[in-house]
Chains A and B, each alone.
Chain A
């Protein structure tokens, strides 16, 4: 699930194969620092170490100080490399991770849909401690000023900080002070210091409505949770097929996770070279979901590689 990349002033005989999501959106720079060397500068970042690349080779170029911010490029000629290309990155709409748009009828009635993404270890070595979890979409705050009741509509207010970098409407993860998940709710609007939660926005994504406390931690999250499924066989067995049952049919036997850290997310474990694993996503839109021009789904992942 990479970013869309638009290259301007391209470096001749160099193709951009992949741009990691960690780069973020914006304009990056791919520079030929020597006739056989390339270096990558992520949007808003610093230039990484130059990498020597020969004709026919595919290399990973990392940004300065950020191993997750990289591009994978291929050189297609022995001609000397020269110039500096601007690589404009943007999030993609409506791919497997982003899901399709939610229609007006679906938003009014509420809608839950599923997608499956296949993770494959394309390296020659084992990948260990493979994990996936939900990314947050803004600053964590504390519901010090107002909390939800045991059920029904209500508001969540903060006594310190603001919701300035939270989406205009979306999902809020409420955790007890110690970090235990209390509830995930949907807020239909917000001010700088108050989230408004409709009655239909309670107890979402597998949680149960519960009264909040002034010490609760709150996070802006996408309206998704994730689950894992082993293939029928390795290295290329099938996953549960829902093409006939439809996108609204939940895959059986999948245990869902809404964790927002590596420790509380999915633990897939070891994935041998060439092996695959299924990552299911469940997207929820509660009844009377308000219109929004760009709702973000954010998945984080991590692994160890020898």
Chain B
């Protein structure tokens, strides 16, 4: 038995584990929503009227329907019953239905005889008196005129005595000072003439409106304030100033 040997051929593969990176694309899509809004108005010329609100013996209800409406001024209202105080507020509505927000009242009082009773202006507030040098006094007072609307005063009346007695309206003659109105308050700052030293000065203040006629319509009296005059008065400020590397004021 013979033995043969030969060469055989075959193949094998060597596999290597390889890692790599792949490239690709993706998109991020954003879904976007939005809103656009704008406005216009719609007119009705018939809406453009004055609206008159009326309260009888009280302020009117501005949330209720107006008492009267009218397109032009001046306007005559219907007749008013006697013996009532009428509070009127006038507003204006435009053609878009927007109404003004006026709240200022005009007060009219009708007496039992059907006559219009003049409405007095308000009493002056913050009335003070202070001695000034030279036996004078300075009187101060405030009058917040806006609150009186169409019934505003235009003058201060200063009733003054220097004998220690209270001033009396109708007896003493007042000094009349025309008001200067600014920022809702008319301020009185009045310096008297000189009195005897150590005199007791008493003052009360009234406000005055001058109606057609002319007719003076005065407020009630303020409380009475008083001061004692002094020949020297309060010391006047005195100062010295030294000027060097710095200024010193004393």
Q: Which residues does A use to contact B, with CB under 8 Å?
A: 1-3, 20-22, 67-68, 91-104, 107, 129, 135, 262, 285, 289-306
Contacts and interface: CB of A to CB of B under 8 A. Distances in A.
A79 B110 CA distance: 71
Q: Which residue, of B27, B39, B46, B95, has the highest number of chain A Cβ atoms within 10 A?
A: B39
B34 A293 contact: no
Interface residues of B, number: 25
B29 A304 contact: yes
A305 B42 contact: no
B96 A293 contact: yes
Given A292-B96, A301-B34, 11 more contacts: A92-B39, A101-B41, A101-B42, A101-B43, A290-B44, A293-B97, A295-B40, A297-B37, A299-B36, A302-B34, A306-B27
Contacts of B35: 20-22, 68, 135, 298-301
Task: Report the 8 A-B pairs with minimum CB-CB distance, sorted nearest first.
Answer: A98-B38, A1-B36, A291-B44, A104-B45, A302-B33, A97-B38, A21-B35, A102-B42
B28 interface: yes
Nearest to A292: B42
Interface in B20-54: 27-47
A68 B42 contact: no
A102 B38 CA distance: 14
Contacts of A298: 35-37
16 contacts: A2-B36, A68-B33, A91-B38, A93-B40, A96-B38, A98-B38, A98-B39, A102-B40, A102-B42, A107-B44, A294-B39, A296-B39, A303-B31, A304-B30, A305-B29, A306-B30
Contacts of A96: 38
A296 B43 contact: no
A2 to B, nearest CB: 8
B98 interface: yes
Contacts of A289: 42
Nearest to A23: B35
Contact of B34 (A22, A91, A290): A22
Interface in B44-77: 44-47
Nearest to A97: B38
Nearest to A103: B43
Nearest to A305: B30
A291 B37 contact: no
Q: Which residue, of B44, B46, B98, has the highest number of chain A Cβ atoms within 10 A?
A: B44
Contact of A102 (B27, B31, B37, B41): B41
A285 B42 contact: yes
Contact of A99 (B34, B37, B40, B98): B40
Contacts of B45: 104
Given A104-B44, A289-B42, A291-B43, A21 B96 contact: no
Given A290-B44, A291-B43, A296 B37 contact: yes
B29 A135 contact: no
A1 B38 contact: yes
Nearest to B33: A302
A298 B40 CA distance: 12
A304 B31 contact: yes
Nearest to B41: A101
B40 A100 contact: yes
A151 to B, nearest CB: 25
A162 B41 CA distance: 25
A290 B32 CA distance: 37
